[in-house]
Structure 1
């Protein structure tokens, strides 16, 4: 009866797994900045509506909404890169 070829071979030497490619954690200022951007964007939009479109900057009118949304989106983008 023929013998199995798998049993005759010696097991390969142990090779450690490759080093992790994980990136380093964010700096300590990362979380406070994105939280501040989120809150500031929200407050910008709320103040714009509550003051009947006069504040924060009356001269730019509806562009106040754009500024508020840019602040909000900047904060959200930072949350996606948070580790």
Structure 2
């Protein structure tokens, strides 16, 4: 049976040096307005859920009690929209 040829292995330093390509970052850092809206949405969603749990059946929040389980969608919707904004944050 014929013997297969032995290949020379590249060194790890040579392999990573050839694969590096410079990456240009487009644009500068995010504005403070963008960051404050992003954080505000996440905090507002969290506060919505906390208020729903603590005072959902209070007499001054009857509208929140009438919404029912939709409160979860509203609260988590605000938090997820803030988290989605983090993907564009620089």
TM over 0.5: yes
CA separation of 1:57/1:33 partners in 2, compared to 1, >3 Å: closer, same or farther?
same
Q: Distance in 2 between matches of 1:43 and 1:49?
A: 10
State yes or no: 1:44 paired with 2:48.
yes
The number of equivalent residue pairs is 65
SS in 2 for 1:23: coil
CA separation of 1:45/1:69 partners in 2, compared to 1, >3 Å: closer, same or farther?
same
2:56–2:65 Cα contact (<8 Å) kept: no
- Corresponding residue to 1:23 among 15, 22, 26: 26
Q: CA RMSD in A?
A: 2.1
Bigger proportion of residues as helix: 2
CA deviation digits over 1:33-79, x for unaligned, max 9?
01100110000001101114554622211101110000000111111
What's the CA shift for 1:21?
4.1
Partner of 1:80: 87
Q: Distance in 1 between matches of 2:57 and 2:35?
A: 31
Q: What TM-score, normalized to structure 2?
A: 0.61
CA separation of 1:68/1:32 partners in 2, compared to 1, >3 Å: closer, same or farther?
same
5+ residue gaps in structure 2?
1-22
SS in 1 for 2:31: coil
1:57–1:64 Cα contact (<8 Å) kept: yes
